[in-house]
Structure 1
C-alpha cells in the first residue's frame, strides 16, 4: 500500500505536519486514497472500489478517511463548508459549475491540480483545473 507521504509527493503538495500517517487530517487521508485510485476506470454511477465517477471517487475517498459525504456532486456541494480560493488547501473539494448547477467534483491536490474521475473512457488522474467556473468546499 502506498503511504500518504508518498502520495503527497506524487500530488505535489505538502500534506502532513509530522512524519506519520496517523497524524494526517481527514482531508489528507482522503487525498491519499483518491491518489491511490490513479488509473482506475471511470464508470457512470460507480463509487468504488475499482471504478468511479467523479462524485463516487470523492464519496469513496472521504468515506474511507472517516467522513461521510452525500453521493452526488451537487449534494456534496450543498453539504460542505464553502471556502474562497485563497483558503484552498490540499484535500478540499473543487466543484465545477455551469451557472448555479454543479456538474463535476475533484479533490484538490495543490498547485492548481485535482484528483478526479473525468468522464467515460477516461481513468482517475491528476489534472490541472481547466476553468475558472469552480467553487471550493471543505469537508
Structure 2
C-alpha cells in the first residue's frame, strides 16, 4: 500500500511538472519577439506619418490623400523598394510565410473580415500592434489581439 502511494505521488508530480513545462514552452513561443531591422523600423516610422489619412475603398495606387488597406501597404512598401500587388488577397501570396508567434516589425498581416477569404491587410508594428487603413478610422494603429482582430487573423508574410 505504501509503495502504491509513493508511486501515485511520483506520477502526480511528473504530470504536474510536464503540464507546467508545456504551458511555459507554449506561452514563451507565443510571446517570442523577433528583432526588427533598421529598414522595418523606418517603414513603421514612415507609416505613422499617415495616421489619420482617410479611408477610401478602391483608392488609387499612389494617391496619398486616401487609402484602402491594400493601397496603403502597397504605397508604404513601394517607398522602400518592395513591389506589392494591389489587393490584400494578392499580397498574401508574396514573400515568405511567417507564423503568428514569429512576427517582426514590417511583416504583412492578413485578416478575413468578410467571412469568406482574406479581405484586409495591415503592417505589423510590434507588440501586437498593427498599422493599417481601417474603413472606420482611416490609417490607424490597432491591437491585433483585440476581440475584433484576434478571431479574424489568417496569415502573415515577410517581404522586407
Bin of the TM-score, shorter chain as denominator length: 0.7 to 0.9
Structure 1 distance, partners of 2:92, 2:107, is: 11
Give yes or no for the alignment of 1:45 onto 2:64: no
- Aligned partner (choices 135, 142, 149) of residue 127 of structure 1: 142
Which residue of structure 1 aligns with residue 130 of structure 2? 114
Structure 2 distance, partners of 1:15, 1:83, is: 14
RMSD, aligned CA? 1.9
Would you identify which runs of 4 or more consecutive aligned residues in structure 1 move more than 4 Å?
none
Aligned pair count reads 117
Q: Which runs of 5+ in 1 are unaligned?
A: 1-13, 17-23
Bigger radius of gyration, 1 or 2?
A: 2
Matches within 5 A, 1:56-95: 56-95=71-110
Distance apart, 1:107 and its partner CA:
0.3
Q: Which runs of 5+ in 2 are unaligned?
A: 1-34
Structure 2 distance, partners of 1:69, 1:91, is: 14
Structure 1 distance, partners of 2:90, 2:45, is: 23
Structure with higher helix content: 2
Query: What TM-score do you get using the length of structure 1 for normalisation?
Result: 0.75
